[in-house]
């Protein structure tokens, strides 16, 4: 399998890759999201959110995001193993700064975890951001999500001190913002 992305393939195996999502991937992306939320995030997300899950609505939302993104800077990538979509990442511009983008989500279905799919997705996001002249990537992580925090920390991301609390209709969800710089900022000291 060859990569559809404008950079060298991220793995030596023909069985795994990362590529831009296609409209027919919406069903698989929704499956990965639903499965991951129900397993890895069950303790974080309110039960009402999981109970109200509507596969068709989520698929439709992802299909629209993939086939008609609001801008070229809005991207959905999928991780594939043996022709099965096993994870995905979505990147959006922040609107605050042309040089900053937000990793809106990066999920790998738990049964496909620990095989490098998350790292390949993150590397692809970073490579595409560099092509787009993005200087900074950000991601919001639930404060209690130590697994994701450890993953991003191992990739060189750090918390930047910002926090937000989301109203979930149940218990508030506190998130911390993490970031990484894609190019070295100049040292302001002479």
List the structure tokens of 18: 């990362």
pLDDT reported for residue 87: 97
Number of structural domains (the chain) is: 1
More confident residue, 46 or 28: 28
Query: According to the model, what pLDDT value does residue 183 have?
Result: 74
Task: Supply the range of the domain harboring residue 154.
Answer: 16-181
Does residue 76 sit within a domain?
yes
Rounded to an integer, the average pLDDT of 135-141 is: 96
What pLDDT is stored for residue 13 in this prediction?
A: 55
Q: pLDDT tens, 175-185? A: 999 999 997 55
Q: Could you write out the three-class secondary structure of the chain?
A: CCCCCCCCCCCCCCCEEEEECCHHHHHHHHHHHHHHHHHCCCCCCCHHHHHCCCHHHHHHHHHHHHHCCCCCCCEEEEEEECCEEEEEEEEEECCCCCCEEEEEEEEECHHHCCCCHHHHHHHHHHHHHHHCCCCEEEEEEECCCHHHHHHHHHCCCEEEEEEEEECCCCCCEEEEEEEEECCCCCCCCC
Q: 6 pLDDT exceeds 70?
A: no
Instruction: Identify the pLDDT of residue 137.
Output: 97
Domain presence at residue 3: no
Could you report the per-residue pLDDT of 34-74, keeping only the tens digit for each? 999 888 888 877 777 788 889 999 999 999 999 999 998 89
Whether residue 190 is predicted with pLDDT greater than 50 in this model: the reply is no
- The model's confidence at residue 10, banded by pLDDT at 50, 70 and 90, is very low
Residue at 117 is within a domain: yes
Query: Is 190 within the bounds of a domain?
Result: no
Question: What confidence score (pLDDT) does residue 115 get?
Answer: 79
Mean of pLDDT over the chain: 87
Confidence class for position 112, pLDDT limits 50, 70, 90: confident
- CATH number, domain of 105, equals 3.40.630.30
Q: Is 186 within a domain?
A: no
Report field, pTM of the whole predicted structure over 0.75: yes
Quick one: pLDDT band at residue 98, thresholds 50, 70, 90?
confident
The stretch 153-166 carries a mean pLDDT of 95
Query: Which tens digits make up the pLDDT trace of 139-152?
Result: 999 999 999 999 99
Average pLDDT of 107-123? 91
């Amino acid at each position: 399998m060859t990569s559809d992305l404008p950079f060298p393939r991220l793995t030596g195996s023909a069985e795994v890759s990362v590529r831009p999502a296609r409209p027919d991937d919406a069903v698989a992306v929704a499956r990965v999201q639903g499965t991951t939320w129900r397993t890895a995030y069950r303790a974080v997300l309110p039960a009402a959110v999981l109970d109200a899950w509507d596969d068709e609505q989520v698929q439709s939302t992802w299909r629209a995001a993939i086939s008609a993104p609001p801008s070229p800077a809005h991207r959905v990538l999928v991780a594939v193993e043996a022709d099965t979509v096993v994870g995905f990442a979505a990147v959006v511009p922040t609107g605050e700064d042309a040089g900053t983008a937000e990793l809106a989500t990066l999920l790998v279905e738990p049964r496909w975890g620990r095989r490098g799919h998350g790292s390949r997705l993150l590397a692809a996001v970073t490579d595409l951001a560099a092509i787009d002249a993005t200087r900074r990537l950000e991601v919001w992580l639930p404060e209690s999500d130590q697994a994701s925090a450890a993953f991003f920390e191992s990739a060189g991301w750090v918390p930047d001190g910002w926090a937000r609390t989301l109203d979930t209709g149940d218990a508030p969800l506190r998130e911390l913002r993490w970031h990484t710089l894609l190019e070295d900022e100049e040292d302001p000291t002479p």
